Amino acid sequence: MEKKSRLIIKNNKFLLDGRDFQFISGAIHYFRMPKESWHHSLYNLKAMGANTVETYIPWNMHEKEEGLFNFDDNLDVTAFVKEAEKVGLFVIIRPTPYICAEWEFGGLPAWLLNYRNMRIRSSDTQFLEKVGSYYQRLFEKLSPLQSTHGGPILMMQLENEYGSFGDDKKYLHGILELMKKNGCEVPIFTSDGEWKAAQRAGNLTEFGVLPTVNFGSEVSSNLKKFTECYDSDYPLMIMEFWDGWFNHYGERIIKRDPKEFAESLREGLKIASVNLYMFHGGTNFGFMNGCSSPENRLIPQVTSYDYDAILDEAGNPTAKFYEIQKVIHELFPSIIQNRPLIKPTISAQAHLTNKVSFFEVKEMVSDVKISDYPMTMEELNHPYGYVMYEHSYKKDNSVEKFKIIDGSDRAQIFLNYELKKTQYLAEIGEPITAEISQENNTLSILMENIGRTNYGPGLLNEKQRKGIRTGVMADIHFMSGDWNHYSINDTKLSTADFSKPWKYKTPSLYKYHVQLEEIEDTYLDLTDFGKGFVMVNNINIGRFWESGPYLTLYIPKSYLCKGKNEIIIFETEGKFSEIINFSKVPLFVSNDKLISDKH
């Protein structure tokens, strides 16, 4: 017997089981929060009055190393979809190779960069082969969850805002064929900006793919521009209705008035299906924040993906939640709504137990590799975070000039473990002058990947390859032979010997303990620190930077335990505190003290 989708597109409408259907949807990214938090966020979406949840799927989390797949724990997309179904929500899945999402490399795995002749997001057969291998494993999880199999998945996305990147229709058709080959049976859509060029470049309507549109305001005007792009009529769907925006280090937090947004949403819901981007933003845990790349700069996005969304970073309702709930009730009085769930937070103090200079424990906390010339982070199979490059150097002159040739993104240059210079992208390549007082010397360069570009032409930039690409020069020659690479392994920080010396103004590890009788969500106050990342009970909760705007990092309840908790902070600027506080609320740098980025 032929299977028929529960959702069909007919006469410019969505029909679900033969009845008119309007999506009232919200975006929740399962990979930006621990599994234990999924129910809370999904319940609140349903309580607001929504009928659908939308999520991206990040390729670079599910296949961090080529051929090694992970769909467990916080990446168990099957469990997330089933939890959504349990609370009464349908699901829109966006399994595209590229997701943007202010996520590292737009969701593309960094190992793709080792294929130097391959063009990503194109009909390059090698790229499509890599996508095909991934889709084979991914759709084993997704296919049984489609509405055609009795599951909650109603639609899937083909590519993401491709009209803002390329117009390679052979590529789009190749992705379509891969989706169908691997079992996609539900309607497939594209999503692009409202203007003609983006819609023309990004759609695949000739193959039955539904076009949808992304914007955040001026509903009537933008929907008019969108509909004028097509001769045929389609059901109107605002796939991303932006209710807030993302934030960069060193810049003011972007806010949107709740009442103004709710009224804009009212206008949208009167004439279209709407997906709120974001309903709950969550957190860029680890090193997974994306990066904007205007001109010759890199501007990293912050660890928090609060987004000024409907729920805050922890998943609690903001003023927007209640304003939107009122609008939905007024427009659709038959929809059952409920009070939202609200998590408590705790305060506490953690005390410093020991500290050690990174230079003293570099072998213990790093994966070490030696080569004749510096290798990129991708070549080292260490695409995220930090790598320290180290080389022995014999004195030639009393004053020497060193230069990093082609490096990304941030370099701290040490001679005999004394900091000589910090360089950002625009400065890397400038000579570093140093006095040489001893015969045998050690040159150390700590390189940080601050986040790969996630949107626009910068996706193809050579600077997406992190670390040192070409080499390091002394005088006018490249330095070769026995370059030691210390790829800092965040999970090894707890193995460091903290009895070794600590040296002021060097990258260091700081260990804290806190005893907790009760555990709830909290925010770690890093006001007194410079730059680095934090491990809580051996879980990387993300980067911090004194440039602001955030002074805290969010810690979910599930990352804590009753009794003794260990916090290890890797800090690169030599700034620390004997005591760190758990705050009940996030803390921010005042606008007059923001440090503008230097990237």
Task: List active site positions.
Answer: 161, 240
Rounded CA-CA distance 310/558 in Å is 22
Q: How far apart are CA 577 and CA 72, in angstroms?
A: 36
Instruction: Let me know how long the chain is.
Output: 599
Annotate 10-30 with b (16+ C-beta within 10 A) or e (fewer): eeebbbbeeeebbbbbbbbbb
Closest CA to 429 of 451, 400, 408: 408
221: its two tokens: 């005007």
427 within 8 A of 397, measured Cβ to Cβ: no
CB atoms within 10 A of CB 424: 16
Would you call 358 helix, strand, or coil by DSSP? helix
Q: Report the alpha-carbon distance of residue 404 to residue 576 in Å, rounded.
A: 29
Starting at the edge strand found earlier in the chain, the sheet holding 13-16 runs: 7-10, 13-16, 19-21
Helix intervals (H) in 332-381:
358-361
Residue 413 to residues 192, 410, 423, 487, Cα–Cα distance (Å): 43, 10, 8, 16
Query: At a CB cut-off of 8 Å and minimum separation 6, what does 371 contact?
Result: 483, 485
Two tokens at 138?
């991914």
Please give the torsion angle defined by the CA atoms of residues 366, 371, 377 and 378, in that order, rounded to the nearest 10 degrees. -120
Residue 117 in contact with residue 124, Cβ under 8 Å?
no
3-class DSSP state of 274: strand
CA distance 452 to 75: 21
Give bridge partners of residue 275 from the DSSP assignment: 25
Find out whether 304 and 554 touch, Cβ atoms under 8 Å: yes
* Cα–Cα nearest to 215, from 161, 253, 257: 161
3-state secondary structure of 447: strand
Helix axes 219-227, 258-269, angle to 10 degrees: 40
